[in-house]
A and B are shown apart, each in its own frame.
Chain A
Amino acid sequence: MRAAAIGYLLLGLLALALPWVGLYPVFLMKLLCFAMFACAYNLLLGFGRMLSFGHAAFFGFAAYVTSWLITAHRVGPAAAVLSGMLVAALLGTIFGGLAIRRRGIYFAMITLALGQLVYFVCLEAPFTGGENGLQGVPRGTLLGLLPLRSDRVMYYLVLAIFVAVFLFIRRVVHSPYGHVLRAIRENEARAISLGYDINRYKLLAFILSAALAGLAGSLNSLVLGFATLSDVQQSTSGEVILMTLLGGTGTFFGPVVGAALVVSLQEYLSDLVGGWVTAIIGVIFVACVLSFRRGIIGELAALRRR
């Protein structure tokens, strides 16, 4: 236990120091946003064993809501991000309510189709800017006090929110609710026979996951200053699955590691190999499913237990 505490402390110090050692802050913020996205996704896949193929809808639609409120209505950053998260939660309530009517692969196909629905809405709705998306979103001033234009200030804000989300998910998983959710994951029939209304538990997991994915998307658009169609695209849903799977589903740190790897890969590898990135991501997917299904952190934990 003490070793874990020291580990967390070191990681925390590292995260605080990173912008001062020459790493590009915007890259770090993007990484944190995707790590948050993957953690939110892992709550659903890792602890609820529900494979959603449409999570980009929550991430991307929240990004649109935030960017639209800021550019068209001059809403402050805090209210805009919270609204994005709220809309994602609402969307999650509808999608979750539909998708949990089926299980397993059908669940995956339903979320995929609903995600594509949101994509088409974003493509054609009047407020999303069509193919161009919404550009030039100013970061503004947080609650009228803290100007966010400086990348370092923004980085520490994103870091603080990320840590809060990470701890929140830990808390949820360790709560009585989390235990029931994992019981449903292990054996649905048994959970029903124990008297749990499993649909309520699954729906809540879906809504939480959607809301946090929305928070990540909103923050990401605030960091980068734009919301585009690629945020709601199916490929983004695929990426978040890969991040979670590669790092380790059902582990707390796995999604963070996975997100760091995938985002870095896209950032640095694209200079080396150009357009082959998609194919390489596909190869990693296949390798991951065939040879280390527990993901990096999951396999390491299994090694340590041996």
Chain B
Amino acid sequence: MSTVLGIPVPVILGQLTLGLVNGSFYALLSLGLAVIFGLMGVVNFAHGAFYTLGAFAALLGLQYLGINYWLALLIAPLAVGLLGVLVERLLLRHLYGLDPLYGLLLTFGLALIVEGSLHQVFGASGQSYPVPEALAGAVNLHFMFLPLYRAWVILASVVVCFSTWFVIERTRLGATLRAATENAPLLQAFGVNVPLLVALTYGGGVALAALAGVLASPVVLVNSHMGNELVIVVFAVVVIGGMGSILGSIVSGLVLGLIEGLTKVVYPEASNIVVFVIMALVLILRPAGLFGRE
């Protein structure tokens, strides 16, 4: 068996694949953050909470309404996205034109409300979501048996990420969105309903987080704090990539997942902190972030 630095290659490839699964979640979440930030200038601290809500929606939908996985993949993001639209219309709307720090603080409060309530109602221990039957087995990649479900997670999030990129960069709707980012009052003067656009963008970004939550529910324990831990890493990913670019946030999410997986092989104790260390290095060498412009 071949080895690199004394570590069997299959082990390395295995951890890299698992890292790619985590990276898919980072990419989906940082993409939503970047879209929301690009248009609204709001750093959505509640992003992790919406991810958690997505997972809970899938779990409760299955337990109480018998909604299966594939339907949940559609319904949970829709429901959470709708909630996002409400949040934007009722709360965030009042903060436009103020220091962006207030948006961060408001959404931090929202995250506390969601997490605190879920914790109180469903307890601290997690529940697991059954892997859907069609994705139960594993594929033999010769260096490892990759559970089919994890392969599906990588595939689904890469497809969703790049479709989102395509919509924003290559379609008429995306062009309108980008115009709103550049100069919202002017766009409104052309007759575009900008407030609606903003509400839908927030809903859309949040729905991406919920989708990530549904995708994650069979591979992680569904509990109230699953999103909080993730969102801090995603913030670091965003600092590394720079929030200006959609493609940048996707790529840095995936790459950092890979690096994290690699760290698990080389020096497992550091796997929790490697993303933060890389963030510190990037800040020293290239303060605006790898893909950022300032």
Chain B contact residues: over half helix, strand or loop, or mixed? helix
Known: A114-B276, A289-B102. A279 touches B235 (CB 8 A): no
Q: Which residue of B lies closest to A290 (CB)?
A: B94
Complex CA gap A160/B113 in Å reads 37
Asked whether, in the complex, the Cβ of A108 is within 8 Å of the Cβ of B101, the reply is: yes
Min C-beta distance of A246 to chain B, whole Å: 11
Of the candidates B104, B108, B113, B116, the one whose C-beta lies within 8 Å of that of A275 is B116
| A274 contacts the other chain (CB 8 A) | yes
Contacts of A98 in B (CB 8 A): 280, 283-284
Q: Which residues of A contact B284 (CB under 8 A)?
A: 98, 101
The interface on chain B, measured as residues whose beta carbon lies within 8 A of the other chain's beta carbons, has a size of 42
Contacting pair B108 A238 (CB below 8 A): yes
Q: Mark A56-95, 1 if CB is under 8 A from B, else 0.
A: 0000000000000000000000000000000000000000
Q: Which residues of A contact B91 (CB under 8 A)?
A: 286, 290
Interface residue? B277 (CB, 8 A): yes
A200 within 8 A of B: no
Q: Given A109-B239, A121-B273, is A282 in contact with B109 using a C-beta cutoff of 8 Å?
A: yes
A273 to B, closest residue via Cβ: B120
Q: Considering only CB atoms, which chain B residue lies closest to A102 in the complex?
A: B287
Determine whether B88 belongs to the interface, using a CB cutoff of 8 Å to chain A: no
Q: In the complex, A120 Cα to B260 Cα: how many Å? A: 15
On whether the beta carbons of B239 and A106 are closer than 8 Å, the reply is yes
Q: In the complex, which of the residues B43, B238, B283 has the most CB atoms of chain A within 10 Å of its own CB atom?
A: B283
CB–CB A238/B106 < 8 A: no
Within 8 A of B (CB), among A272-306: 274-286, 288-290, 293
Q: Known interface pairs A109-B235, A109-B239, A234-B228. Does A289 touch B43 (Cβ–Cβ under 8 Å)?
A: no
Residues of B within 8 A of A289 (CB): 95, 102, 105-106, 109
B43:A279 contact, CB within 8 angstroms:
no
Q: Are B104 and A117 in contact (CB under 8 A)?
A: no
User: Which one of A108, A109, A285 has the greatest number of beta carbons of chain B within 10 Å?
Assistant: A109
**Are B106 and A290 in touch, CB under 8 angstroms?**
yes
Return the 3 tightest CB-CB contacts between A and B, nearest first.
A285-B109, A278-B116, A282-B112
Residues of A within 8 A of B (CB): 51, 98, 101-102, 104-106, 108-110, 112-114, 116-117, 120-121, 124, 234, 238, 241, 245, 274-286, 288-290, 293
